[in-house]
Amino acid sequence: MKASNNPTHGDSKKPGGLSSLVSQLTITPVLCLLVLTAVLVVVLFAPLIAPHPEAAILTDESFSLPDDVMLLGSDFLGRDVLSRLLYGARITLSVAFAISIVAFLLGCSFGFFAAVKRGWIDSVLSRSVDALISFPAIMVALIVISALGSSITVLIVTIALIDSTRVYRVARALGMDIVVQDYIEAARVRGEKITWIIWHEMLPNALAPLAAEFGIRFTYAILFISALSFLGLGVQAPHADLGVMVKENMQGLLYETYTPLYPAVCIAIVTLSVNLLVDWFLKTTDAALPDEL
């Protein structure tokens, strides 16, 4: 009879159950969860929540004051700031989430594979990743996007590839700790394939630190997209984006309006909420990202 396939029977650290996490909730993670829930609602239902279309010009006056029609006033073209903000948050956060998913699929797969195979495969993959990391991420992104264009697909693929190198190092370090456990050796002895070992034995035992790393990578993706958009190589007009909104409305500061501050505050609130939630999660589950990165 085949040995038990329970992936969490090893000695590695494992997070407590959902009930254990809920019982340790404090005011900070609760507030963060509320903020992120509101953000999720905006991402899913922005077209239904926004009072006006994304690119509709409602007035000839730039940076008009808030009124009953435009609750946060107008931007430099006379468009509703609140509607642009909702659509911009939707695009920025959706793209950042897609980037994080792709980066983790690539980084975790290759990182765990290198940890299992070791030898020359590990050396080639690790040295290649080290070489890629040695180049400034923003410089690589600017070169690639300038050459291929700044479509949503190019943005996602480019930033995900850059981000996957960081995920690879985390996954490999975690994998090197897990692969020496007895249950990995038992899986090998009974003839399990590498893909089975990675997905059924290694991944479940690394979920807590990987979940924390996902939050960190997600905030990094938000800031990266916003930076590229601010430089003019991110999401292109007429689509709204938080970084684009900051850039487009910078001159509003000269007219004593808060228009460019709204998207900046949104970026700060989301990234701060995710980071505080990750910090609480790490402390609660006693998970830790590996030191050998």
Residue 26, in any domain of the structure: no
Mean pLDDT of 6-23: 52
pLDDT value for 270: 93
The sign of the torsion formed by the CA atoms of 46, 52, 55, 61 equals negative
Residue 175 in any domain: the answer is yes
H helical segments located in the chain = 18-23, 27-49, 81-117, 119-133, 137-148, 152-178, 182-189, 194-197, 203-205, 207-230, 242-248, 261-285
Dist CA 73 CA 92 (whole Å): 21
Report the pLDDT value the prediction gives residue 189, as an integer from 0 to 100.
86
Q: What is the pLDDT of residues 121-136, one digit of tens each?
A: 889 999 999 998 988 8
As beta bridge partners, residue 57 has 79
What's the longest Cα–Cα distance across the chain? Answer: 77
Cα dihedral 33/35/37/42 (nearest 10): -170
Q: What is the pLDDT of residue 293?
A: 52
The proportion of the chain whose per-residue pLDDT surpasses 90, expressed as a percent, equals: 34
Asked if residue 22 belongs to a domain, the reply is: no
The count of structural domains within the chain is 1
Query: Is 237 contained in some domain?
Result: yes
Task: Find the length of the chain.
Answer: 293
Burial of 256 (0-12, 13-18, 19+ CB in 10 A): exposed
SS3 204: helix
**For 28-58, how does the pLDDT look when each residue is reduced to its tens digit (9 = 90+)?**
889 999 999 998 998 889 889 999 988 888 8
The answer to whether residue 83 sits within a structural domain is yes
225 assigned to some structural domain: yes
More confident residue, 86 or 26: 86
| pLDDT classification of 69: cutoffs 50, 70, 90 | confident
Report if residue 293 sits inside a domain. Answer: no
As to burial, measured by CB atoms within 10 angstroms (0-12 exposed, 13-18 middle, 19+ buried), residue 273 is buried
pTM for the structure as a whole? 0.85
Q: Any idea what the CATH number is for the domain that residue 96 is in?
A: 1.10.3720.10
User: Which range of residues forms the domain containing residue 159?
Assistant: 39-51+72-285
Q: What is the pLDDT of residue 21?
A: 67
Residue 59 covered by a domain: no
